[in-house]
Amino acid sequence: SSHRHSLSKKERLSYINAVKCTQTKKGITKNQFGIKQFTIFEDFAFEHAKQTPYVHLVGHFLSWHRYILKTFETALREQCGYDGAQPYWDYALDYNKFAQSPIWDATYGFGGNGFPVDLSLPNPNAPGIPGYEYRSGGGCVMDGPFKNYIIRLPRRDLTVPEPRCIERAWNIEYFQHFMHRSTELQLYTEPTFTRFLSTELDKIPDIFNYPPGAIETINMHTAFHLSIGGTEADGFMSPFDPLFYMLHANMDRIWRRWQSMDPEVRHNEYGGTDIPAPIIPIPDPDPYGMGWLGVNITADFKITLSGLAGPIAVEKMQDTTSDYLCYDYDTTYKPLV
């Protein structure tokens, strides 16, 4: 898998067109929220939404997201004729030029910020998170290949359909605070998987013990969602902004690099439990039967993507160069700039 900025214009367009194909091609879900037939793209976002409380701030967070990345790439290739790999966005390279990043290009990228709206109103996607005073934009994406895309599913509560555009509300303060290369390099010093997972990558934000605006309360994973904001800040429906897959591919790259530093140990290292953190509201009752067992994560713990793929043991997600996953990143063994 390659950093997106290193792709040719033809390769960038090929990826964008494959994603657009998933937005029109029939998926597997039928008769949900008054929608007769989901598209492939909607299937993946819905699966993430169903499982959000159970695959974040848990020991299989990275494994599950590696699984959905792999499965989405397979859909791009098998359903939409894509002949490349899932790219990643190495956002540290854009640390000082967030707004000028080629990722926002209207032709070869994903389009830019949302239309300016009144950002003094409460954010429906991320209530209670500090630092939102730094946002800009907030409305519908104004340009690019996805500006006319309509999200047909509900927001995070999964109840009432609310047809809407893809929204973005850039937060450069978040981006510059967390997306510096030094933040990534710090992760590589962590000695165990549990430390690697919980110190920066997916730690539980302590939003109650900091003054307003203290963005140290969040973590790298949360920060990249909030840096883009809007749809990407809806923890349930974030895959409706196609940048979701670029962002999580970069997190997967970071995990892969950390694993490669001691593969014999780290390909066999697990940690954490499957008990959701109380900060994420759990649907009650759980309408999709996606609950948890209350166990420690071990090699034989099963994850699933329902009808899309699975169930499968997390040990199958450990080594990206295995016969099952069969991919790697272009910078795994190279010095980072």
Whole-number Å distance between alpha carbons of 119 and 71: 36
- Percent of the chain at pLDDT > 90 equals 59
Cis peptide bond upstream of 276, omega within 30: no
57-83 pLDDT, tens digit each = 889 999 999 999 999 999 999 999 999
Question: What is the distance in angstroms between the CA of the first residue and the CA of the last residue of the chain?
Answer: 18
Query: Residues 6 or more apart from 10 whose CB is under 8 A from it?
Result: none
- If one counts every other C-beta atom within 10 angstroms of the C-beta of residue 220, the result is 21
- pLDDT over 50 (residue 172): yes
Reading the block at residue 309, the tokens are 């793929």
pTM of the model: 0.92
Contact 228, 168 (CB under 8 A): yes
Decide: helix, strand or coil at residue 69: helix
195-241 pLDDT, tens digit each = 888 765 655 554 444 344 444 556 788 888 888 999 998 888 999 99
17, burial (CB in 10 Å: exposed 0-12, middle 13-18, buried 19+): middle
Residue 273 β-bridge partners: 296
Domains and CATH numbers, the chain: 4-317 (1.10.1280.10)
